[in-house]
Amino acid sequence: MSFKTGLVGFLLFGVISLNAVAEVRLLEGWTRSPPPGVDRLAIYGRLVNDGDTPVVLSRLELAGAGQVMLHETVMDAGQMRMRHIDPIELSPSKALVMAPQGLHLMVMGLARSPQAGETLTIKATTRLDEVHTFLVRVQPITALGPVPN
């Protein structure tokens, strides 16, 4: 194989690979500054998969935090229960909506307390080892949505 053929093949492979990487995004990502004395927080927003095939997120990370997991608050016979959801599957046709009193990314073991106005970066790794980053805006502790109230 000549150098030229090899280069064309390499470039073609690169283009095909790029096309195969689904774009996963967090829209309107927000969280509240954790209350004093608390080392955890809940992240809300809409997770969307712009690709053509389902994506499974196998690992979520935030620098300076212990764990990041998808949880859901569910009401069961009047009881508020927390449910850990694993794996995190993102369908190309449906956004995963995370909102207070429902689905959320739960961050535990924060080394420091993020303050309102900061932006956090979540690193998400898919089962195919693709890496995506999600930006999360920190709102005041009394916020009820992505825009400060």
Partner 1 sequence: MYSDTQKTGIRKTLGILLGIIMVMLSLIFLNYVTRDVALSAEQAAKLGYIRFEQPRNVTVPRLVTAQDERVLPTHFQGQWDLLYFGFTACPDICPTTLAVLNQALSTVEIPPRVHLVSVDPEQDTPAQLARYLGGFNPDFLGVTGSHDQVTQLATQLNVAFGKVPGAEPGSYTVDHTGSIVVLDETGRYAGFIKAPHQPGQLQQIIVGL
Helix (H) or strand (E) holding 9: helix 3-20
Tell me whether residue 5 or residue 149 sits nearer to partner 1 (CB atom): 149
Query: Binding string, 122-141, against partner 1, x = CB under 8 A?
Result: -------------------x
| Phi, psi values for residue 94, rounded to 5° | -140, 125
Instruction: Please tell me whether residue 42 binds partner 1 under the rule CB under 8 A.
Output: yes
**Residue pair 132/29 in contact by the 8 Å Cβ criterion:** no
Residue from 2, 5, 79, 93 that binds partner 1 (CB under 8 A)? 79
The residue to which tokens 């095909």 are assigned = 16
Instruction: Please tell me whether residue 37 binds partner 1 under the rule CB under 8 A.
Output: yes
* Sign of CA pseudo-dihedral 75, 76, 78, 81: negative
Q: Which of residues 47-76 bind partner 1 (CB under 8 A)?
A: 67, 69, 71, 73, 75
Instruction: Please tell me whether residue 100 binds partner 1 under the rule CB under 8 A.
Output: yes
**Distance of closest approach, residue 5 Cβ to partner 1, in angstroms:** 51
**Residue pair 118/16 in contact by the 8 Å Cβ criterion:** no
Q: Where does this chain touch partner 1 (CB under 8 A) — which range of 16-24, 50-58, 106-114, 124-132?
A: 106-114
**Distance of closest approach, residue 65 Cβ to partner 1, in angstroms:** 12
* Sign of CA pseudo-dihedral 39, 40, 43, 49: positive
